[in-house]
Amino acid sequence: MPAEISRRSIGARRNPETEKAILDAAESILHEVGIAGLKMEAVARRAQAGKATLYRWWPTRGRLILAVYERSKADFALPDTGALQTDIALFYKLLFAFWSRPDGRLFRLIIAGAQSDPDMAEALEEYRQERRDGLRSMLARAADRGELSPGLDLEIAIDALMGLAWMRLLAGKLTADTDTLAATLCGPWLRAADGGTFALS
- pLDDT score of 103: 82
Phi, psi of 9 (to 5 degrees): -70, 155
How much is the pLDDT for 191? 82
pLDDT along the chain (201 residues), means of 10: 40 81 96 92 96 94 95 84 96 95 90 93 95 95 94 94 96 94 94 46 26
For residues 44 and 95, membership in a common domain is answered with: no
Count of C-beta atoms within a 10 Å radius of residue 6: 11
Q: Do residues 53 and 77 both lie within one domain?
A: no
- Number of structural domains found in the chain: 2
* Res 192: pLDDT: 63
Per DSSP, the residues of 78-139 read ----SSHHHHHHHHHHHHHHHHTSHHHHHHHHHHHHTTT-HHHHHHHHHHHHHHHHHHHHHH
Domain coverage including residue 173:
73-189
Query: So what's the pLDDT on residue 199?
Result: 34
Based on the domain organization, do 46 and 78 belong to the same domain?
A: no
Give the predicted TM-score (pTM) of the model.
Answer: 0.83
- Looking at the structure, do residues 91 and 161 belong to the same domain, yes or no? yes
The answer to whether residue 201 is domain-embedded is no
Tens-place pLDDT, residues 6-27 = 344 444 578 999 999 999 999 9
The pLDDT of residue 186: 92
What are φ and ψ of residue 122, in 5° steps?
Answer: -65, -45
- Is 176 inside a domain boundary? yes
